[in-house]
Amino acid sequence: MDTNKVEDCSNLKYSLLHYISKPKNVPEDKLKALLDIFRRQMFEKDVVLLNQGDLWTKVYFVEQGIVRMFFNTPDGREFNKNFFAEGNFFWPATPATSLHPSLFSIATLEMSYLWVADYVPFRQQLIALHRWDSFTLPFAQARSPLPFVSEKVPSTRETDSRLSHCILPWDDKRDSLPHQASLPFLTYVNASPLKDI
């Protein structure tokens, strides 16, 4: 695992500003303090970032690569819940989510460069800037460009058929996706309580 500081964080900075610079710009010193809590890390393929049952305490930004969220049923079956591609943030959907064992695992699908920060200070800084809502609500309301949107077809379709009905803005990555994909994917907080965001 390779860790770099935030000198080369233009993609992260641009993406953060996209969500938190309205209705007015964030002071440069406050933005720097927010960026300083992130560290750039390289993860090889199939590295588990979070195990089902562990506490989810990190915020991630995908600079390069693909990450999947999945879960295992008691009878041993595995289902994908979501995928995150370049330019995506993902984090515990609600404060309560970070305090209870995760219902999902998260792992890289290929070698990936991620920016990683602790969830609590990240959230605290955005709340202090009165920017937590402006950061989280677009994801919750599915107004940001997602790797998938609702497939609008029955989930009983065969996987390959269902994949063909999804919007994949990164079709060159299609072959990296597991064949047992469980769709649809609606938002980053799909099936999560929104009232605590």
Written as one string, the DSSP assignment of the chain is -EEE-GGG-HHHHHHHHHHHS-SSPPPHHHHHHHHTT-EEEEE-TT-EEE-TTSB--EEEEEEES-EEEEEE-TTS-EEEEEEE-TT-EE--SSGGGGGSB-S-EEEESS-EEEEEEEHHHHHHHHHHTT-HHHHHHHHHTT-S--S-----S-TTS-HHHHHHTS--TTGGGGGGS-TT-------TTTTS-STT-
Confirm whether pTM is higher than 0.75: no
List pLDDT tens digits, range 33-89.
999 999 999 999 999 999 999 999 999 999 999 999 999 999 999 999 999 999 999
Enumerate the domain spans of the chain: 2-176
Of all residues in the chain, what percent carry a pLDDT higher than 90? 43
Q: Does domain 2-176 have CATH number 3.40.50.300?
A: no
Of all residues in the chain, what percent carry a pLDDT higher than 70? 65
